[in-house]
Structure 1
């Protein structure tokens, strides 16, 4: 089920794709990238628990994140960190048609992940409780966020922490039973947009807003006037009446591409080195299962 409303003309979205392990429907992910220039996929934590990979394979999959993984001491945090990164690497590998262990993640100063050496595909990641969420985009920046749909956000300090003055006015005028649903949607949209522009929590949620009636729209200024145009597109989805997820994509100005294979986005020397190190057979369909 998706939020009602009219699609922005700049970009469309496919429905979120459930990926239940390495044998998931990666062809559908590639098809969404080709059709929409973005793909949104999600998974359940239990399907991507890191112990399934085993120590040496998990280390190969995590790459530079291995040291960070070892530094985490809380078991649930550690598991969610590893599982989300492995899913993200499998997703990127599916788009680029390379082995997942060859994908390396980098992080901006704000913590936004990116693919080292792959400029053609932008990525975003979110996770909460048992849900893992990944966004992929070509020719655009992307941000995704997820929250439980039953989370309670309504309270007396909306204007101090979450909402613009215009949003506070609209929320207070709503039926009390609808307020938290609207606020969760606003929260996830703001998180997704902040991730897409690379600022994370550095951009105060009281400084920008969205419509509260469930329609996809541009970013709004605190007074409710438009703050962006059709270069940005937004969408909210509801998963199994359990989670609310939102996606934000912004045109990078370079256009999309229907070809995301690594040889078109990587320097030829890097591709040759990877091929020599990993062997041609590693890139064949099904090879990624050897790493799980």
Structure 2
């Protein structure tokens, strides 16, 4: 998978996103919340843009940055999916599986993923299988708060010790987002213990590993992690049961 595509809202072109999905099967799109949040979040016409279920959730939410992200993320997701299908976003119905995983009701040709944090929105799109995405501020404090012992396998803890101290927290954030992305892709979320699977250290292809560091998944899964806007870590997990485009073992972090 190539680098994530930024979309700046408004009447911006979706050609790069459409081409990525058509040629490579998958694409990750990111955007600034402020580029997608409407001027009036309480406007009645948003009911048609969001759909009945999400609009009902919106009206119960107090005015906050969380509400802005909620609205902007869903408008971005529906616009991106609509661009791939060549359909108006309001004609697409966003629904949720029991674990909270979003999907497009009545559409099996496109799997979607969604994540957001602070001012960033991230959407994953794939026509080859399943996708999960996750994002966190790259400098979010995780190290030495106990997070590493709840989220890392023994092998990952050993590898973290070999990372220069100034980069160690960022690599823990990278591991966390990769695990979140995979858990979302398989509709498990935080119910799947992160100490039961791990990922290879930075500097090469990203592979899923068993707790002792031996390979876990086959060629059907690829994993990706990027630094975007010099501020956020974005990770994606993609399953392609048909061994479509993409490197068998994932792509390296950048």
Is 2:3 the partner of 1:15?
yes
Answer yes or no: is the 8 Å Cα contact 2:148–2:172 preserved in 1.
no
Q: From the CA coordinates, give the structure whose radius of gyration is larger.
A: 1
The match for 1:155 is 144
Answer yes or no: is the 8 Å Cα contact 1:103–1:115 preserved in 2.
yes
Is 2:50 the partner of 1:62?
yes
| Higher RCO structure, 1 or 2 (CA under 8 Å, sep 6+) | 1
C-alpha RMSD over aligned residues = 1.8
Separation in structure 2 between the aligned mates of residue 98 and residue 193 of structure 1, nearest angstrom: 29
The match for 2:19 is 31
Shift of 1:52: 5.2
Q: From 79, 94, 98, give the equivalent of 2:68.
A: 79
Separation in structure 1 between the aligned mates of residue 92 and residue 243 of structure 2, nearest angstrom: 23
Instruction: State the Cα deviation string for residues 203-257 of structure 1 (Å, max 9, x = none).
Output: 111111001224332211111111101100111111121111111101244969x
Answer yes or no: is the 8 Å Cα contact 2:41–2:68 preserved in 1.
no
In structure 1, the residue corresponding to 2:39 is in which secondary structure? helix
Separation in structure 1 between the aligned mates of residue 243 and residue 41 of structure 2, nearest angstrom: 38
The match for 2:169 is 180
In structure 2, the residue corresponding to 1:43 is in which secondary structure? strand
Q: Which runs of 5+ in 2 are unaligned?
A: 246-254
Is 2:117 the partner of 1:128?
yes
Instruction: State the Cα deviation string for residues 133-159 of structure 1 (Å, max 9, x = none).
Output: 101000210011111111121116345
Separation in structure 2 between the aligned mates of residue 221 and residue 118 of structure 1, nearest angstrom: 34
Equivalent positions of 1:237-256 (< 5 A) are 237-253=226-242
Structure 1 residues 132 and 159 mapped into 2: Cα distance closer, same or farther (>3 Å)? closer
Compute the TM-score of the two structures, normalised by the length of structure 2.
0.91
Equivalent positions of 1:268-283 (< 5 A) are none
Instruction: State the Cα deviation string for residues 251-283 of structure 1 (Å, max 9, x = none).
Output: 244969xxxxxxxxxxxxxxxxxxxxxxxxxxx
Answer yes or no: is the 8 Å Cα contact 2:178–2:236 preserved in 1.
yes
When you count helix as a share of all residues, which structure comes out higher?
A: 1
Separation in structure 1 between the aligned mates of residue 158 and residue 41 of structure 2, nearest angstrom: 50
Answer yes or no: is the 8 Å Cα contact 1:145–1:192 preserved in 2.
yes
Is 2:217 the partner of 1:235?
no
Separation in structure 1 between the aligned mates of residue 91 and residue 3 of structure 2, nearest angstrom: 28
Is 2:119 the partner of 1:96?
no
- Matched residue count: 244
Structure 1 residues 86 and 156 mapped into 2: Cα distance closer, same or farther (>3 Å)? closer
Structure 1 residues 139 and 101 mapped into 2: Cα distance closer, same or farther (>3 Å)? same
Structure 1 residues 15 and 147 mapped into 2: Cα distance closer, same or farther (>3 Å)? same
Answer yes or no: is the 8 Å Cα contact 1:159–1:206 preserved in 2.
no
In structure 1, the residue corresponding to 2:27 is in which secondary structure? strand
In structure 2, the residue corresponding to 1:50 is in which secondary structure? coil
